[in-house]
Chains A and B, each alone.
Chain A
Amino acid sequence: MIPEIGHFALILALSVAVVQGIFPLWGSFNGKLAWTSMAKPGAYAQLFFLFISFLCLLYAFIVNDFSVKYVANNSNSQMPAAFRASALWGAHEGSLLLWALILSGWGAAVAFFSKGIPSIMLARVLSVMGFIGVGFMLFLLMTSNPFERLLQIPLQGRQLNPLLQDIGLIIHPPLLYMGYVGMSVAFSFSMAAMIGGKLDAAWARWARPWTNIAWVCLTFGIALGSWWAYYELGWGGWWFWDPVENASLMPWIIGTALIHSLAVTEKRSSFKVWTILLAILAFSLSLLGTFLVRSGVLTSVHSFASDPARGLFILVFLLVVIGSSLLLFAFRAHKLRSTGSFSLVSRESGLLVNNVILLVMAATVLLGTLYPLIIDALSLGKISVGPPYFNAIMVPLALVLFSVMGFGFFVRWKKDSMSRVLKRVWFPLTLSLVSAFVLPMLLAQDLKIMTILGVFASSWIALAALMWVLSSGRSPFKLPLASWGSVVAHIGMAMTVAGITVVSLYDSEKDVRLEKGQSYELAGYKYTFNGVEAIQGANYKAHRATMDVTYNGKTVTTVHPEKRDYGPGSMPMTEAGIDAGFTRDLFVALGEPLGGDAWSFRLYHKPFVRWIWLGAVLMGLGGLMAALDKRYRRVRRRSLEVAQDDEKQTTNKPNPKLSGAIA
């Protein structure tokens, strides 16, 4: 009964979304207030029904209702309750329901915090979001119904892939989806603005905090995924350039460009065309990622069980959403005239250069991900494009980006002179150049070209951000939260760059055979193997090794790498023993028994690897600070005034700026 309620609620949510899509948009053209006012309750009702639907599926997982096919395929009663619940989004159907739920959540949030937005604009925004929701719910109901029942009810469900039974998986997908779907808000605002044809900068002002929050979620989501892969896959790797990872990186890169571009559009009324295009691109790439992951077009380690029918549906959906938005763009973009003119040396130019490099980076990821498919489509055979390619192209691009980044802080809006900028940057620039040579010499006793470049990029970004606050002439406490957010985010970027540089160039690994009592030394750390014991976990059996680590004779830590067996049908799993530290991680993976007391181990020394994720946390924090700046609360009031102004204008009352222009 409960699954049927869930199914029914999903159908109701779809119906609501159809209404939410059609009527407010229609009403916004023919001026029927009753129709436009359906947008808000529609958004709330959609969320309500999807939430019921979601709860029903969650219930089926919690009570082990194996008559539901999706539950039987992805969960069993031996799994701990928390993992049974998160198994809901462990496979295609459930994760898609989560997508739809989050989308409706964003829609309801926009409806709720919409005080300053003119009702016609809001109606259009929610209508676009309604249409996107229709697509996703149709997809669910037609190809991927999670509530489908089984005729023969199995006694026990299948084991969820043990790799996914992990805290990382409980939170990683929801956050990532929050980011993907959150990009739909900026998309919807830009679409609404284009539909209305009134392309002033107001939409940017409204879309900005939403985009920031979506970007924050995406940042946290990607960082979590990377961290999860690091500790769970057992290879000590944190980024594999797998199509699935690339699918999340592309919207992130474009999203990064978008939040910068939105700032310029809002503040300076420039970049209007560009910002609209980025808003479309960011969400389109999120959708494209979904297509690539779920259609089986590309082979990926993480891809969902693929089904061509699903692939075809998403492709049609992509054609409708992206195609119509780009078509609208083609017709309306010429109407956009940026008003703020700026010179070649100006912050606007700097940000445009930054945007272009980011776009090229996203395009590179897309090119590399799709190139095997292109070659295949042209019947030129099969090729693979993997990490060596991406590293070879993306690292230089990133270095160009980072070099430009530092200058951006010191250039004035509108017009600046090179000599004035140089006067301001010489100090942080010199300091970072010096540290690029001195730091590696001091800490690593060597001088690799990549180290110099990496350390330079990192310290240049961080110093530039810091110097900018210190030299702003204002007390740091009086600086708006958004400015602080920017500084924190850029320092986060610097940290991530530093972490990537150091761990890529100075990590060490060794496969060793150790008998009980034997030890091995790697990067100064001495690992002593003190035996293996058999333990019983919640739904697995495991061998658990004890490894004592000392440094210069002093005890550092004891780690317990495990090898788990989740029973028939699943391969043994490695649970690495990790000692996390600010400047290094010690990472031990347990291999196989080699007879007697001996076991094989893989040891890693990963200097500064934490910095990669700590940096990402700072980036996310910075984005959050920017989104929560009280300016936006004020802006809401101000935009209310703008909206009223608009109405006044139509009643022929000239505003001061206008009368000036006429005079």
Chain B
Amino acid sequence: MNMKFTIPLIVFAALAGLMLFGLTNDPKLIPSPFVGKPAPQFTLPRLYKPEETVSVSDMKGKVWMFNLWASWCVSCRAEHKVVTRLSKKEKIPVIGLNYKDFGTEEYGNEALKWLEVLGNPYYAVVVDKDGMAGIDWGVVGVPETFVMDKKGIVRYKFTGPIYQKAADEILSPLIEKLRKEEG
């Protein structure tokens, strides 16, 4: 057997390995390039008091969470309970970003109703009417959640609805660890 005739076989073996990997891999999950970098700035109006604004810099020195949601987002509803429980348990300030909520009359009506029914676990709710703040944070689809450390560095991003197990096993330990870090 001449070795050069085994080249196609070897190339194919490598391809097969790659395809096997492909089967176990989800091509749609995109990692956030923000992790390890300072949180993007925003200054946005509050939902309840539109004349007031909240900025990222207001959160300096605190470990905090940033949760993107919308009233039209079905899986946000499922996530809401988990976020509520987590914020109570860890006493962590969560800023909610109400992302592109299309109210019927006045902007924000739907969001207000939503919070009225499901409860408001947020430290503050800010409004991103045109989705530009969402883009600034590299949103792919709501819900998405970021965890920031005391220095305002993004330490973790959770894509999709947080489920209880993830809250208990990933987020809670992370928050406690970040709190121990120097501010």
User: CB-nearest residue of chain A relative to B5?
Assistant: A333
Q: Which residue of A lies closest to B16 (CB)?
A: A319
- Chain B residues near A323 (CB-CB < 8 A): 9, 12-13, 16
A372 in contact with B23 (CB, 8 Å): no
The answer to whether the Cβ of A370 comes within 8 Å of any Cβ in the partner chain is yes
Chain A residues near B9 (CB, 8 Å)? Answer: 323, 326-327, 329-330
Residue of A nearest to B11 (CB): A326
| Chain A 302-316 interface residues, beta-carbon cutoff 8 Å to B | 308, 311-312, 315
Residue interface bits A274-295, CB-to-B below 8 A is 1, else 0: 0001001100100010010001
Check B1–A334 contact: CB distance below 8 A: yes
Shortest distance from the beta carbon of A384 to any chain B beta carbon, whole Å:
10
Q: Is the interface of A mostly helix, strand, loop or mixed?
A: helix
Of A277, A376, A381, which contacts B8 at CB under 8 A? A277
Give CA–CA (A295, B12) in the complex, Å.
Answer: 18
Residues of B with C-beta under 8 A to A315? 16, 19-20, 23
The listed residue (B1, B6, B20, B27) touching A372 by CB distance below 8 A is B27
A164 at interface by CB-CB < 8 Å = no
CA distance A381 to B30 in the complex (A): 8
Chain A residues touching B, range = 35 or more
Cβ contact of A297, chosen from B6, B22, B30, B31, cutoff 8 A: B22
Give the Cβ gap from A359 to chain B, nearest Cβ, in Å. 11
Interface residues of A in 71-114 (CB under 8 A from B): none
The answer to whether B5 touches A311 (Cβ under 8 A) is no
Which residues B10-34 have CB closer than 8 A to chain A? 12-13, 15-16, 18-25, 27-28, 30-31
Number of A-B contacts (CB under 8 A): 74
Q: Are B23 and A299 in contact (CB-based, < 8 A)?
A: no
Nearest-neighbour CB distance to chain A for B5, whole angstroms, equals 4
Given known contacts A319-B16, A323-B9, is B22 in contact with A373 (CB within 8 Å)? yes
- Neighbouring B residues of A295 by C-beta, 8 Å: 19, 22-23
Interface size of B in residues (CB-CB distance below 8 Å): 22
Give Cα A281 to B9, complex, Å.
11
Is A377 at the interface (CB under 8 A from chain B)? Answer: yes
Cα A330 to Cα B2 in complex, Å, equals 7
- A382 lies within 8 A of chain B by Cβ: yes
Query: Contact at B21–A377, with CB atoms within 8 Å?
Result: yes
Q: In the complex, what's the smallest C-beta–C-beta distance from A297 to chain B, in angstroms?
A: 4
Q: How far is the CA of A331 from the CA of B28 in the complex (A)?
A: 41
Taking a contact as CB atoms under 8 Å apart, the answer to whether A331 and B30 are in contact is no
Q: Is the CB of A331 within 8 A of B1?
A: yes
Instruction: Establish whether residues A334 and B5, one from each chain, have CB atoms under 8 Å apart when the complex forms.
Output: yes
B6 touches A298 (CB 8 A): no
Q: How far is the CB of A168 from chain B (nearest CB, A)?
A: 27
Question: Closest chain A residue to B14 by CB distance?
Answer: A374
B36 → A minimal CB distance (Å): 13
* Minimum CB–CB distance for A638 against chain B, Å: 31
Contact A326 B22 (CB under 8 A): no
> B129 to chain A: closest CB distance in Å?
21
Q: Contact at B18–A374, with CB atoms within 8 Å?
A: yes
Please measure, in the bound complex, the distance between the C-alpha atom of A308 and the C-alpha atom of B26, giving whole angstroms: 11
Instruction: Please report the C-alpha to C-alpha distance between residue A326 and residue B6 in the assembled complex, in whole angstroms.
Output: 8
CB of A377 within 8 A of CB of B25, answer: yes
Contact partner, A329, options B5, B15, B23, B30, Cβ 8 Å: B5
Contact A330 B18 (CB under 8 A): no
Residue of B nearest to A318 (CB): B16
- With a CB–CB cut-off of 8 A, which chain B residues contact A373? 18, 21-22, 25, 27
A326 and B8 form a contact (CB under 8 A)? yes
Residues of B within 8 A of A329 (CB): 5, 8-9
CA distance A548 to B6 in the complex (A): 63
Shortest CB–CB separation between residue B46 and chain A, in angstroms? 34
Check if A322 is an interface residue, CB within 8 A of chain B.
Answer: yes
Q: How far is the CA of A280 from the CA of B8 in the complex (A)?
A: 10
Q: Which residues of B contact A273 (CB under 8 A)?
A: 5
How far apart sit A334 and B8, CA to CA, in the bound complex (Å)?
14
Given contacts A318-B16, A374-B18, A382-B30, contact A308 B8 (CB under 8 A): no
Question: Which residues from B are CB-within-8-Å of A319?
Answer: 16
Q: How far is the CA of A374 from the CA of B6 in the complex (A)?
A: 22
| B residues in contact with A382, CB < 8 Å | 30-31
Give the residues in chain B near A288, CB-CB below 8 Å. 15
- Who on chain A is nearest to B19 by CB? A315
For B18, the chain A residues whose CB sits under 8 A away are 370, 373-374, 377
Report how far A273 CA is from B6 CA in the complex, Å: 12
Chain A residues near B23 (CB-CB < 8 A): 295, 297, 308, 311-312, 315
Give the nearest-CB partner of B13 in chain A: A323
B161 → chain A closest CB, angstroms? 21
**In the complex, per-residue mask of B67-103: 1 if CB is within 8 Å of any chain A CB, else 0:** 0000000000000000000000000000000000000
Q: How many angstroms between the C-alpha atoms of A352 and B91 in the bound complex?
A: 72
Known contacts: A318-B16, A330-B9, A334-B5. The answer to whether A299 contacts B22 by CB under 8 A is no
Query: Could you tell me which A residues sit within 8 Å of B by CB distance?
Result: 273, 277, 280-281, 284, 288, 291, 295-299, 308, 311-312, 315, 318-319, 322-323, 326-327, 329-331, 333-334, 370, 372-374, 376-377, 381-382
Q: Pull 24 A–B residue pairs with CB atoms less than 8 Å apart, ordered by A.
A: A273-B5, A281-B8, A288-B15, A295-B22, A295-B23, A296-B27, A297-B25, A299-B28, A308-B24, A315-B16, A319-B16, A323-B16, A329-B8, A330-B6, A330-B9, A333-B2, A334-B1, A334-B2, A370-B18, A373-B21, A373-B22, A376-B25, A377-B25, A381-B31
Counting from the closest, the 5 A-B pairs by CB-CB distance are: A297-B22, A333-B5, A326-B9, A377-B21, A334-B2
